[in-house]
């Protein structure tokens, strides 16, 4: 420890990243600092959090990397954390990448796609969404009213796809619709995904009136029906009374060894979705550190940000992080506390949802006797698995004298009604698992 003190005293008061290592050179923790010596010296004082104290009992070496600005230190810190995943860093414990709806408006025939590879490539991204399945169902529903294309390369399509025959696509790839009309549909879909119902309704009413004036009554009726369907869909979205607000409202829930961040997604005054993020972190780490880690690890990696991020409690670097996010995304991004009763109500809603989501995780993870079906539990014990098999896929391939191969797949999911796994599998599944 005396050697570490000498290393710390020799540090400059400049921005940079520091890495605590154990006796074998393994990285224990990676941090950033606006003033390196001042920040790192705090690890040598008394009264540390338990997690920090435990880390310093293992620390035997210190490595630093100087940067020109504290923003560069933040970017470098997150890059190194993702690469090395130190044990003592507060980090998201799921490696899932969120789903986005992507459309490149610069193309002749813009098409929409679901992707997890969100990049700053000039395309428009809408999201994030936590579940691709729910997103697919959502797009299937909306495409009944706004039939846009979802093929990746429409110029290479040889024939109309099934979506065209199901009236979920207007077939721009085979010129079944003038490109101007199709691009109008693309604009309508963008308005819907952005939560701009007034603009969407205005476009459709204008087109309907034009069609009626030109005595294109069938087209006018089609637009009328589309407008009615969209108004019904949009009325189901929860209005939260933020006029024109694009906000993420954050809630948090804690246990002794975990924290869960809940994010309510509000676009143009309507709540269009939610997501949550899980951290394994001791309770002695305060909420402000968890919230700061969440903002740094999530918002600096996504291509599209809201105008405001509403937090349940203040964080020390809110102004600086707001400035960096604004510079990165080209529009003002404000990290703030709730400023009125409506915002307070939404934060409370986010906290309640965070509690329920974390409670669900604890129930599923700790009380298998009550939640997991008894047959699934017995299978877990019989096979010596570390976790209950909530989903099982069994495959069998049969041949008739070496020809006519036939394959079959049987899928079991955890349920509350009895399932005789052994009868279904006839013993072969257990044989191959062994």
What are the two backbone dihedrals, phi and then psi, of residue 229, each rounded to the nearest 5 degrees?
A: -60, -45
Extents of the domains making up the chain: 2-84, 99-195, 246-366, 376-433
Of the candidates 252, 295, 257, the residue with the CA atom closest to the CA atom of residue 276: 252
CATH topology of domain 246-366: Nucleotidyltransferase; domain 5 (3.30.420)
pTM for this structure?
0.60
Query: Does residue 28 contact residue 21 with C-beta atoms inside 8 Å?
Result: yes
Strands 308-310 and 246-254, sheet pairing: parallel
Of the candidates 237, 252, 378, 298, the residue with the CA atom closest to the CA atom of residue 97: 298
Q: What is the CATH architecture of 2-84?
A: 3-Layer(aba) Sandwich (3.40)
Edge-to-edge strands, sheet with 308-310: 238-239, 270-279, 259-267, 246-254, 308-310, 334-336
Residues forming a β-bridge with 308: 247, 334
Query: Does residue 341 contact residue 348 with C-beta atoms inside 8 Å?
Result: no
Q: Which two tokens stand for residue 61?
A: 């070496």
pLDDT by residue, tens only, the chain of 434 residues? 567 888 888 888 999 999 999 989 999 999 998 899 999 998 988 877 778 888 889 998 999 999 988 888 888 888 888 888 888 888 766 555 677 888 888 888 899 988 877 777 778 888 777 667 767 877 887 787 788 888 888 878 888 888 888 888 888 888 888 898 898 888 888 888 877 767 777 877 888 888 888 888 887 887 787 777 666 655 555 545 455 578 899 999 887 777 889 998 887 777 777 888 888 887 678 889 899 999 988 888 777 788 999 999 999 889 989 998 988 777 899 999 998 888 898 999 999 888 888 878 777 664 333 333 446 646 766 776 655 576 788 888 887 777 778 888 888 775 544 344 444 444 444 444 44
Q: Which two tokens stand for residue 306?
A: 């809201």
């Amino acid at each position: 420890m005396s050697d570490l003190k000498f290393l710390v005293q020799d540090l400059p008061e400049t921005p940079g990243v520091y890495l605590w290592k154990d006796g074998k050179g393994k990285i224990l923790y990676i941090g950033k600092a606006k003033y390196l010596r001042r920040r790192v010296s705090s690890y040598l004082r008394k009264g540390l959090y338990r997690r920090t104290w435990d880390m310093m009992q293992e620390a035997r070496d210190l490595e630093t990397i100087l940067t020109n600005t504290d923003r560069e230190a933040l970017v470098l810190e997150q890059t190194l954390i993702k690469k090395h995943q130190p044990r003592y860093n507060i980090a998201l414990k799921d490696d899932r990448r969120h789903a986005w709806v992507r459309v490149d408006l610069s193309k002749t025939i813009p098409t929409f796609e679901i992707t997890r590879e969100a990049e700053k490539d000039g395309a428009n991204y809408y999201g994030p969404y936590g579940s691709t399945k729910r997103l697919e169902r959502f797009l299937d529903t909306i495409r009944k009213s706004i039939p846009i294309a979802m093929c990746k390369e429409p110029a290479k399509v040889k024939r109309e796809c099934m979506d065209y025959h199901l009236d979920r696509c207007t077939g721009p790839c085979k010129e079944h619709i003038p490109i101007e009309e199709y691009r109008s549909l693309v604009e309508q879909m963008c308005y819907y995904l952005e939560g701009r119902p007034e603009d969407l309704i205005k476009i459709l009413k204008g087109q309907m009136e034009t069609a009626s004036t030109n005595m294109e009554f069938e087209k006018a009726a089609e637009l009328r029906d589309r407008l009615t369907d969209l108004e019904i869909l949009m009325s189901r979205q929860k209005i939260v009374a933020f006029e024109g607000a694009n906000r993420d409202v954050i809630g948090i829930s804690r246990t002794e060894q975990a924290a869960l961040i809940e994010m309510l997604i509000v676009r143009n005054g309507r709540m269009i979705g939610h997501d949550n993020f899980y951290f394994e972190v001791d309770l002695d780490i305060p909420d402000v550190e968890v919230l700061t880690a969440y903002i740094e690890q999530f918002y600096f990696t996504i291509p599209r940000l809201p105008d405001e991020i509403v937090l349940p409690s203040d964080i020390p670097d809110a102004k600086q992080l707001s400035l960096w996010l604004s510079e990165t995304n080209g529009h003002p991004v404000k990290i703030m506390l709730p400023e009125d009763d409506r915002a307070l109500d939404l934060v409370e809603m986010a906290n309640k949802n965070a509690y329920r989501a974390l409670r669900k995780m604890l129930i599923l993870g700790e009380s298998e006797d009550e939640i997991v079906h008894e047959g699934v539990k017995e299978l877990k014990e019989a096979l010596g698995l570390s976790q209950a098999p909530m989903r099982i896929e069994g495959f069998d391939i049969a041949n008739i004298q070496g020809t006519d191969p036939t394959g079959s797949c049987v899928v079991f999911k955890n349920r509350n009604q009895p399932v005789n796994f052994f009868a279904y599998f006839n013993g072969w599944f257990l044989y191959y698992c062994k």
